[in-house]
Amino acid sequence: MKPITEGLGGLFADLERRAQQSIELTDKVRAALDGPEKIHVLSATYRDDTLVVSVDSAAWASHVHYVQEQLTERLRAAGETQFSRIRVKVGASS
């Protein structure tokens, strides 16, 4: 089976690459969390030097914010050093 982006140009290939990077980063963030908050993480992306973690409710945003230091340490130990701060926000769940 051929990739969907084959023959459609570089823009689609770039979009597919960025989406895959976001999926992988989201998986890393979930793996770095111990508690039930990991299942409430919707996505994770970079905006400049900020790691933006989207969760499904304000209550879970508070939980992730509370363990932010531990999350930072674990992500850095896993090789994620691209960020200097974490921003937790409430995103729309599907």
Give pLDDT tens digits for 48-57: 999 999 999 9
How buried is residue 55: exposed, middle or buried, by Cβ count under 10 Å (0-12/13-18/19+)? buried
pTM (predicted TM-score): 0.83
pLDDT at 15: 84
pLDDT at 61: 96
Residue 10's pLDDT band, with cuts at 50, 70 and 90, is: confident
What's the whole-number average pLDDT of the chain? 90
Take residue 93 and report the two structure tokens written for it. Answer: 């769940």
Structural domains in the chain, sorted by start: 10-90 (3.30.300.20)
CB 54 within 8 A of CB 44: yes
Asked whether residue 44 carries a pLDDT value surpassing 80, the answer given is yes
CA distances from 63 to 28, 80, 82, 87 (A): 17, 21, 23, 13
